[in-house]
Amino acid sequence: MGDYKQLNKKLVDDNRVLKQAIAAYREELGLIRAELLEQHRIRVESERAFRDRALSLVAHNFMASVRDIDANINVPELVYNSSYENLCSSCTNGPSTENDNNSCRHRSTNLVRDFHRSRA
């Protein structure tokens, strides 16, 4: 009977050691996850800052180029009107739009055919 008590005590001690090891691994895993999340947050913020800076540079260069072409042009109004027209034309859905697209494709195909014919 004494062997069972010693064996049981050893199993209980081993179980306690394993639970402590598991707790330590879980804590370490939690710290690693927190570190990965922090690295991900930093990467996302730096990508956002990079994208914002790139868009700012593109917008600045665009406005400078347009002003170089014509100093009297109202750039914000030009950009707003052209983007609004593109938005409206892309949002209209219906049978007439499909016919217009087919008509444009047909005209485009004819223009390409005429161009190739004129080069021959």
Residue range 64-82, pLDDT digits in tens: 888 888 777 776 676 666 6
Higher pLDDT, 47 or 94: 47
Residue 16 in tokens: 């306690």
36 vs 111, residue with greater confidence: 36
| Distance of alpha carbon 118 from alpha carbon 120, whole angstroms | 6
Asked if 75 contacts 66 with a C-beta cutoff of 8 angstroms, the reply is: yes
Domain boundaries, the chain: 2-92
Which of residues 1 and 8 earns the better pLDDT score?
A: 8
C-alpha to C-alpha distances, 86 to 89, 93, 103, nearest whole angstrom: 5, 13, 18
Structure tokens at 73: 């042009």
Note whether 67 and 73 are within 8 A (CB). yes
Higher-pLDDT residue of 120 and 113 is 113
Q: Are 28 and 34 in contact (CB under 8 A)?
A: no
